[in-house]
Structure 1
Amino acid sequence: MYSTNIVTSFIKNDDKILILKRSDKVKSMKCLWAGVSGIIEKNDTTPLDRAKIEIFEETGINEKEIELLKSIEQIKIESAQYKNHVWNIFPFLFKAKNPEIKLNWENSEFNWIEPNEIKNYETVPELEKILFSLL
């Protein structure tokens, strides 16, 4: 069984949560809504370090503009897309005050939503479960 370690971060601004729509240029989960996500690289020291890097790359939000509210143990998700593959998700919840979002090529849209609105979006697998495990 293969596995891939992934960080998924949610950014909270007041009572809203930021979600991103993955572009059609990414390798997997094209055009699905997600948190700020990325593969943990071999040279990353911790999942938290990778989460902060992904937040800056994908949204333009600087590390100084966010505060970690919560992280939980990794969640294993079997891949529907690839046989014999497990995604090890490392979830994080951050807070930011009225950040300006500057998307890179990995995402095509963003929305600030109430957490219970996530069920209205076509998301990457288990995103609702991951979000509510952090709230």
Structure 2
Amino acid sequence: MTEIRDVAIGALMKEQRVLMVKRSERETSSGKWCLPGGKVEEDETPREAALREIKEETDLEADIVDEGDVFLNETRNGKWRVHSFRMIPENFEVTLNEENSEFQWLTPSDTEELETVGDGAALESLGLK
């Protein structure tokens, strides 16, 4: 049986736009767009993981203002229990780490034009789609 792993992702909001990042060449799902986030470590809650991953990937500090429904997502890289959070960053000065190569602030409907790793369900769980 395939292990289900927990991941936490953050929908960082700037007015009515959400921050999307593009996975770099060295990462799984290279070239695809996604909400920033990653695996929940053994010693942290999904909320803590979301805040940590946002800081690591974008260098932004943020406040969680809403939590979406938890849902399952299956990709070629495994099965994931996804915890999604709507966040307001303290500022909008994004500095990407090596995991991502680009970012864009997009309306939720604009994200439908991107090749993503399946973040439509996360946006829906937060009432953004």
Q: TM-score, normalised by structure 2?
A: 0.90
Superposed counterparts of 1:7-86, under 5 Å: 7-26=8-27, 28-44=28-44, 46-62=45-61, 66-79=62-75, 81-82=76-77, 85-86=78-79
Q: Following the alignment from structure 2 to structure 1, what is the Cα–Cα distance between the partners of residues 112 and 121?
A: 10
- Which residue in the other structure is 1:102 paired with? 95
1:6 maps to: 7
| Superposed CA offset, 1:9-67 (max 9, x none) | 110011111000011112x21111000111111122x10001111111111112xxx22
d(CA) in 1 for partners of 2:25 and 2:32? 9
Aligned to 2:109, what secondary structure does the other structure show? Answer: helix
Deviation (angstroms), 1:130: 1.2
Contact 1:32 1:124 in 2 (8 A): yes
CA distance in 1, matches of 2:107, 2:121: 15
Q: Does 1:113 align with 2:106?
A: yes
2:126 counterpart of 1:130: no
Count of residue correspondences: 126
- Give the C-alpha shift of residue 73 in structure 1: 3.1
In the TM superposition, what is the alpha-carbon distance from 1:132 to its structure 2 partner? 2.1
Structure 1 vs Structure 2: percent identity of aligned residues? Answer: 28
RMSD of the alignment, in Å? Answer: 1.4
Look up the SS of the partner of 1:115 in the other structure: coil
Report if the CA contact (8 A) 1:13-1:98 is conserved. Answer: no
Give the distance between the partners of 2:13 and 2:42, measured in 1 at CA.
28
Q: Of Structure 1 and Structure 2, which has the larger fraction of its residues in helix?
A: 1
Is residue 85 of structure 2 the alignment partner of residue 92 of structure 1? yes
Contact between 1:14 and 1:97, CA under 8 Å: does it hold in 2? no
Structure 1 residue ranges without an equivalent (≥5): none
